[in-house]
Amino acid sequence: MSIEESVEESTARGQLFDVERVLAGLTLEEKASLLSGLDFWTTQPVVRDGAAESAVAVPGVMVTDGPHGLRKQADSPDHLGLGHSVPATCFPTAVTLGSTWDPALVRRVGEALGRETRANDVAVLLGPGINIKRSPLNGRNFEYLSEDPVIAGELGAALVAGVQSQGVGTSLKHFAANNQEADRMRVSADVDERTLREIYLAGFERVVKRAQPWTVMCSYNKINDVYASQNHWLLTEVLRDEWGFEGLVMSDWGAVRDRVAAVAAGLDLEMPASGGRTDAEVVAAVRDGRLDEAVVDVAARRVLHLVARSLPALDAPGAYDVDAHHALAREAAAAGTVLLKNAPVVEASLVELVETSPSLDKLDHRAAEPLLPLASGDGVAVVGELARTPRYQGAGSSQVNPTRLDDALTALRAATGADVPFAAGYTVDGADLGSGTDEAALRAEAVEVARAAGTVLVFLGLPASYESEGFDREHMDLPAGQVALLEAVAAVSQRVVVVLANGSAVSVEPWQHLAPAVVEGWLGGQAGGSGVVDVLLGAVNPAGRLAETLPLRLADNPSYGNFPGELGHVRYGEGVLVGYRWYDARQAGVAYPFGHGLSYTTFAYEGVAAEVLGSAAGADDVPAVRVRVTVTNTGERAGAEVVQVYVGDPAAQVFRPERELKAFAKVELAPGEARELTFDLTARDLSYWHPVLRRWVVEGGEFVVSVGASSRDLRGSATVVVDGDDVRLPLAELSTVAEAIDHPAVGPRIDALVHGGAVADDMLSMIGDMPLAVVADFGLAGLTRADLKQILSDANA
């Protein structure tokens, strides 16, 4: 709903709230007061003369966390953690939602979040968070969707559209370059503009343009030495002037250092309350001429618009269906579960048969079956405390007080009707073991349970103390005790399935050879336990895909050595080579590539083709290349495949990643069913940010379009030749000879001078990189300063 429509609607309800009329009637002090919070969670009302309702000139509205569920603190607000927050559905965290690669599903989750927000009289839900996962160590990666801006942008836009369809707002956060928790309130993210534009801002741009979030939340950190909260370039020039953002910018909680500079930069609302201190600073700055009152009016008007568009929903909060939302949370948890590995296991009895029968000299590997899906609960045992005490969300401001909580052990027993034996195997976060027992005893008990079982599900993961908002991890490893448990179990069983619960990538290399099957359940929300069981049993065919690369080692990660920075600065030295862009450019091994995820069925890709639709000059949002592929479900089960389209630009003035995700689709196919998919890539999809011209450009020429099931599992590719932009820089005195030869107007003249015999042969290979002015000063090639002046004027005419 547009601002105008929402005002109309509230007017229709008899709540006449005409923003311009209200604004015109406010004093400077009142307008300044609108620009900061009343308390932790509400905007300041303007109340005049008394307590009667009619005395409220401007009502305050409530905003509250968070991305995957509502954290409304009904009383004793404490900013972080559960602190008496109302029960709300804890949907899967962003890491799980990101792995669904399913905008339609994420939109439905958004709608449900919107219903809960509305039902609780909250105007704005503080999410989604779409920062790029630059390092697996970021303690808050669980709150973010992907290492790739297309995934973050597509799914972020879907979530925003879903929430806002319910008449409440979102806050897209944390804008921008907030990719770590260490020193997050001060650190300067030192990052070049091309990298910002292509990686760290691109997701925000997509969400803003597609879904117009009601609000954007600026981040705590600085970007190239300027706090995001007072960064005019970021908050006004890029966000509003370029992208057309129409909503309000609020600060992250406590992110404002200089309130007057922040207002001037375009930060409308400071949160939480400043106790009136910064309101007075704003008034003083206007009075002494440092700040134009018109700038205060602009910010106050945006707060009033936010209030106006919030009123209809606040008037009619409605209710939501707790059971239906739990079911949706379960569906989303299963959809975001990634089957990393499901290797065939040869039955031990068969091995023995072959070894003891002289007539059989070879093992027939067709006899080998993967462990998953489980046929039933018979013979299955569960090991690992996390199966009973699930880790389903991360700590910090996003922590939701769930309406109920499923654990995998109970869900498995209920779904199979089997009396599945269980042993804890380890404790989580130093839980009290009581006297007479220790971790070794827990392990020994688990080994006995595993020994007696046909198949052992080993639940492993990161305890809450390992990752959270507010600090980063120091390593990617699972707790040593859990790995020791796996080793002990694997020593007595070949049929081991590892089920993981963690908010960011963990290293799997040290232990994954011990388990033929590995399932990544991430932090799946309140129904994560039942959702993962749906996948284990095959009730849901796994269709989650990695939205972040799982590296072999932490040291392989592109930010290694530049994370989390030092002395107040973090250098984004890897540039645009973030995540798979880095591993693919270096052809480096990974544990599991971006986009990876197995299914219980198989898919064939045929007929990958690409055709040019039109010129790509201008790098606009117009269709430039149409890609086609036919995907067939070649297995025996229905299932969904995530078809991924990558683009590479092999020859460009700047170094470009080997391939970049530009489009994807999740397609549900019955056994044997085939479907042709088409993807229209826009000119912008082919472009890069030109660091000198400071705009998006498409360098005409060849582009390679690849279609596949992961960034490393490409099933077909096609090459297209596209018309693009003229990206040559104006010729100048310091342009090189090679650049001048390349110039259409004057190139032949320079070429004739250089190759006309005036330059000695042994100089020819050196002269290409020589600036024209130096050539003239050296008197080479007969070029004089006067010639050069003429050549430059002809070239740039």
Footprint of ligand BGC on 290-329 (CB under 6 A): none
Q: Which is nearer to ligand BGC, 170 or 397 (CB)?
A: 397
- State in angstroms the smallest separation of the CB of 720 from ligand BGC: 42
Footprint of ligand BGC on 397-416 (CB under 6 A): 397
**Cβ atoms < 10 Å from Cβ of 341:** 22
Measured in residues, the chain has a length of 797
Q: Which is nearer to ligand BGC, 72 or 325 (CB)?
A: 72
Q: Is-catalytic flag, 252?
A: yes
Q: d(Cα 543, Cα 390) in Å, to the nearest integer?
A: 22
Q: Which is nearer to ligand BGC, 65 or 183 (CB)?
A: 65
Return the residue of 204, 253, 563, 689 that touches ligand BGC, per CB under 6 A: 253
Q: Sketch the per residue contact string, 27 through 66, with ligand BGC: x for CB under 6 A, - otherwise.
A: --------------------------------------xx
- State in angstroms the smallest separation of the CB of 252 from ligand BGC: 5
Q: Does 126 bind ligand BGC (CB under 6 A)?
A: yes
- State in angstroms the smallest separation of the CB of 763 from ligand BGC: 60
708 within 8 A of 595, measured Cβ to Cβ: yes
Footprint of ligand BGC on 74-93 (CB under 6 A): 79
- State in angstroms the smallest separation of the CB of 296 from ligand BGC: 24
Q: Sketch the per residue contact string, 162 through 181, with ligand BGC: x for CB under 6 A, - otherwise.
A: -----------x--------
**Cβ atoms < 10 Å from Cβ of 582:** 23
Q: Which is nearer to ligand BGC, 251 or 530 (CB)?
A: 251
List all residues 6 or more positions away from 654 whose beta carbon is below 8 Å from its beta carbon.
194, 688, 690, 691
- State in angstroms the smallest separation of the CB of 253 from ligand BGC: 4
- State in angstroms the smallest separation of the CB of 122 from ligand BGC: 13
Write the CA distances from 704 to 19, 378, 650, 654, 721, integer angstroms: 51, 50, 8, 16, 9
Q: d(Cα 67, Cα 130) in Å, to the nearest integer?
A: 10
- Alpha-carbon 515 to chain mean position: 29
Q: Which is nearer to ligand BGC, 80 or 415 (CB)?
A: 80
Q: Which is nearer to ligand BGC, 61 or 126 (CB)?
A: 126
Q: Does 472 bind ligand BGC (CB under 6 A)?
A: no
Q: What is the DSSP string of 488-553?
A: HHHTT-S-EEEEEE-SS----TTTGGG-SEEEE--S--TTHHHHHHHHHTTSS------SS-EESS
The H-or-E segment that residue 641 falls in is strand 639-648
Q: What are phi and psi of 327, to 5 degrees?
A: -65, -40
Choose the catalytic residue: 102, 148, 252, 725. 252
Q: Does 182 bind ligand BGC (CB under 6 A)?
A: no
Burial string for 507-543 (b: 16+ CB within 10 Å, else e) reads: bbeebbebbbbbbbbbbbbbbbbbbbbbbbbeebbbb
- What order of strands is seen across the sheet that includes strand 639-648? 660-669, 639-648, 701-710, 713-722
Please return the burial class of 224, using the count of CB atoms within 10 Å of its CB with bins 0-12, 13-18 and 19+.
middle
Q: d(Cα 105, Cα 557) in Å, to the nearest integer?
A: 31
Q: d(Cα 338, Cα 550) in Å, to the nearest integer?
A: 12
Please return the burial class of 149, using the count of CB atoms within 10 Å of its CB with bins 0-12, 13-18 and 19+.
buried
Q: Which is nearer to ligand BGC, 130 or 409 (CB)?
A: 130
Q: d(Cα 177, Cα 163) in Å, to the nearest integer?
A: 24
Nearest to 537 by CA among 778, 411, 373: 373
Q: What is the DSSP string of 348-380?
A: HHHHHHHHH-TT--S--GGG-EES-S-S-STTE
Return the residue of 102, 181, 183, 252 that touches ligand BGC, per CB under 6 A: 252
Q: d(Cα 181, Cα 472) in Å, to the nearest integer?
A: 6
- State in angstroms the smallest separation of the CB of 233 from ligand BGC: 22
| Cβ-closest position to ligand BGC | 397
Greatest C-alpha distance within the chain: 100
Q: Which is nearer to ligand BGC, 84 or 451 (CB)?
A: 84
586 within 8 A of 540, measured Cβ to Cβ: no
Nearest to 287 by CA among 24, 23, 20, 27: 27
Q: Which is nearer to ligand BGC, 252 or 268 (CB)?
A: 252
- Cα-Cα-Cα-Cα dihedral sign, residues 538, 541, 546, 550: positive
Strand partners, 458: 383, 498
Q: Which is nearer to ligand BGC, 79 or 194 (CB)?
A: 79
The H-or-E segment that residue 385 falls in is helix 385-388
Nearest to 410 by CA among 420, 401, 400: 420
Q: Which is nearer to ligand BGC, 253 or 572 (CB)?
A: 253
Q: Which is nearer to ligand BGC, 250 or 707 (CB)?
A: 250
List all residues 6 or more positions away from 168 whose beta carbon is below 8 Å from its beta carbon.
114, 117, 118, 122, 123, 124, 125, 310, 313
- State in angstroms the smallest separation of the CB of 709 from ligand BGC: 34
**With CB under 6 A, what is the number of residues at the site for ligand BGC?**
8
Q: Which is nearer to ligand BGC, 397 or 507 (CB)?
A: 397
- State in angstroms the smallest separation of the CB of 254 from ligand BGC: 7
- State in angstroms the smallest separation of the CB of 471 from ligand BGC: 13
- State in angstroms the smallest separation of the CB of 78 from ligand BGC: 10
709 within 8 A of 641, measured Cβ to Cβ: yes
- State in angstroms the smallest separation of the CB of 702 from ligand BGC: 43
- State in angstroms the smallest separation of the CB of 136 from ligand BGC: 20
Q: What is the DSSP string of 726-761?
A: --PPPP-TT-BHHHHHT-TTTHHHHHHHIIIIIS-H
List all residues 6 or more positions away from 760 whose beta carbon is below 8 Å from its beta carbon.
none
Catalytic residues: 252
**Chain residues in the site for ligand BGC (CB under 6 A):** 65-66, 79, 126, 173, 252-253, 397
